[in-house]
């Protein structure tokens, strides 16, 4: 019979907080990991469906904002998620933890409340080691995707006076680190995800390269032609002896030759938005990634 977790061992659980960004993997992180849910649990890693905990997390955040939260409330939240299972690592995922996507440019800044929001989330688990995970995306494609997915605001209201050429993920990440100095931040570029997805799953789960994930090809499948994907799947299945680096090289090579044009080419139809705009924002994004590599406490998967 399982023993009910005590406050002490609940606080020994390491918590991986996947905070977005929106319109990157579109929830695939959870579903790829859940393909191995039982095998992960046997390793002490729990990945549950977000619908089983997001409401409870939101309610406790609201209670915390009112100043009426207790240690018992925090313990009860964790206990309600782990369900008396022996867990050493818990994965929680919600791209709205970073901030509501439709308000990502509110006040003319890129996720101006990222530091505060993540600190409030971390404070639900004050005694637990927490790591934040964040997929980055070129603002030149992220901003149109977020705008088109919402209906609350006009284009001008959505921009909120932002200078699109000055938006930097490094500012967001530095803000998160400033508000959460004891938390590591792990990031990766959405544009690299088809090739590095197994690395992402290994890092979020804490199992690294020692575990072969059933969902390791979930993202690259979206980016390739069907015939190309089947050839890739067959090639890897016939060569289980390949190292992680060799498998990554194979994924990259197959993606190069069999990529889907529909994925590579994105149509953007926004006011005063030109190819020159896209190029300038993209150039800033590339420079920004170099800045992010230098931020203390940040790991960039590539």
Q: What is the DSSP string of 214-234?
A: TTTTHHHHHHB-HHHHHHHHH
Task: Please check whether residue 190 lies inside any domain of the structure.
Answer: yes
The pLDDT score that the predictor gives to residue 208 is 92
pLDDT exceeds 70 at position 2: no
Task: Please check whether residue 224 lies inside any domain of the structure.
Answer: no
The pLDDT score that the predictor gives to residue 67 is 87
Task: Please check whether residue 254 lies inside any domain of the structure.
Answer: no
Q: Exposure of 60 by Cβ count < 10 A (0-12 exposed, 13-18 middle, 19+ buried)?
A: middle
pLDDT exceeds 60 at position 264: no
The pLDDT score that the predictor gives to residue 268 is 78
The pLDDT score that the predictor gives to residue 1 is 36
Maximum C-alpha span of the chain: 64
The pLDDT score that the predictor gives to residue 263 is 61
Instruction: List pLDDT tens digits, range 181-193.
Output: 999 999 999 999 9
**Based on the structure, what is the number of domains in the chain?**
1
Mean per-residue pLDDT, 105-123: 95
Q: Distance between CA atoms of 26 and 296, rounded to whole angstroms?
A: 28
pLDDT exceeds 50 at position 16: yes
- Tell me what percent of the residues of the chain surpass a pLDDT of 70: 95
User: Rounded to 5 degrees, what are φ and ψ at 133?
Assistant: -120, 135
Task: Please check whether residue 151 lies inside any domain of the structure.
Answer: yes
Structural domain containing residue 157:
13-216+272-301
**How sure is the predictor about 47, in pLDDT bands with cuts at 50, 70 and 90?**
very high
The pLDDT score that the predictor gives to residue 6 is 60
The pLDDT score that the predictor gives to residue 84 is 86
Residue 19 corresponds to which tokens in the numbers above?
């905070």
Q: What is the DSSP letter of 259?
A: B
Q: How many residues does the chain have?
A: 302
Cβ–Cβ < 8 Å for 164, 271:
no
Task: Please check whether residue 239 lies inside any domain of the structure.
Answer: no
The pLDDT score that the predictor gives to residue 22 is 93
The structure's pTM equals: 0.93
Task: Please check whether residue 56 lies inside any domain of the structure.
Answer: yes
Give 114's contacts (C-beta < 8 A, 6+ positions apart): 98, 99, 172, 175, 176
- CATH number reported for the structural domain that contains residue 177 in this entry: 3.40.50
Instruction: List pLDDT tens digits, range 217-249.
Output: 999 999 999 999 999 999 999 999 999 999 999
Give the up-direction half-sphere exposure of residue 223: CA atoms within 13 A in the CB hemisphere: 23
The pLDDT score that the predictor gives to residue 271 is 82
- Tell me what percent of the residues of the chain surpass a pLDDT of 90: 85
Task: Please check whether residue 105 lies inside any domain of the structure.
Answer: yes
Smallest CA-to-CA distance from 82 within 20, 12, 131, 18 is with 12
pLDDT, the chain, mean: 93
Q: What is the DSSP string of 117-175?
A: HHHHHHTTSTTS-EEEEEEE--HHHHHHHHHHH--SS-HHHHHTT--GGG--HHHHHHH
Task: Please check whether residue 221 lies inside any domain of the structure.
Answer: no
Mean per-residue pLDDT, 161-174: 95
Task: Reduce the DSSP state of residue 213 to 3 states and report it.
Answer: coil
């Amino acid at each position: 019979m399982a023993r009910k977790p005590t406050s002490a061992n609940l606080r020994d659980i390491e918590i991986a907080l996947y905070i977005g960004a929106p319109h990157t993997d579109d929830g695939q992180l959870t579903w790829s990991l859940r393909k191995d849910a039982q095998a992960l649990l046997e390793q002490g890693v729990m990945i549950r469906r977000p619908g089983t905990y997001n409401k409870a997390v939101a309610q406790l955040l609201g209670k915390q904002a009112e100043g009426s939260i207790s240690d018992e409330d925090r313990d009860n939240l964790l206990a309600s998620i782990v369900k008396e299972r022996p867990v050493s690592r818990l994965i929680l995922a919600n791209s709205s933890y970073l901030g509501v996507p439709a308000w990502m440019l509110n006040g003319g800044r890129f996720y101006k409340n990222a530091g505060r929001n993540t600190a409030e989330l971390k404070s639900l688990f004050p005694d637990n080691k927490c790591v934040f995970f964040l997929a980055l995306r070129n603002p030149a494609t992220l901003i149109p995707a977020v705008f088109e997915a919402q209906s609350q605001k006009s284009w001008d209201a959505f921009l909120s006076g932002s200078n699109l050429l000055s938006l930097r993920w490094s500012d967001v990440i530095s803000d998160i680190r400033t508000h959460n100095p004891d938390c590591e931040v792990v990031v990766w570029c959405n544009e690299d995800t088809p090739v590095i997805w197994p690395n992402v799953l290994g890092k979020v789960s804490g199992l690294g390269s020692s575990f072969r994930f059933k969902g390791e090809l979930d993202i690259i499948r979206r980016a390739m032609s069907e015939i190309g994907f089947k050839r890739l799947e067959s090639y890897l299945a016939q060569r289980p002896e390949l190292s992680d680096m060799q498998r990554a090289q194979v994924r990259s090579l197959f993606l190069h030759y069999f990529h889907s044009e529909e994925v590579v080419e994105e149509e953007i139809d926004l006011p005063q938005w030109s190819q020159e705009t896209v190029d300038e924002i993209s150039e800033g994004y590339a420079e920004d990634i170099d800045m992010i590599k230098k931020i203390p406490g940040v790991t960039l998967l590539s």
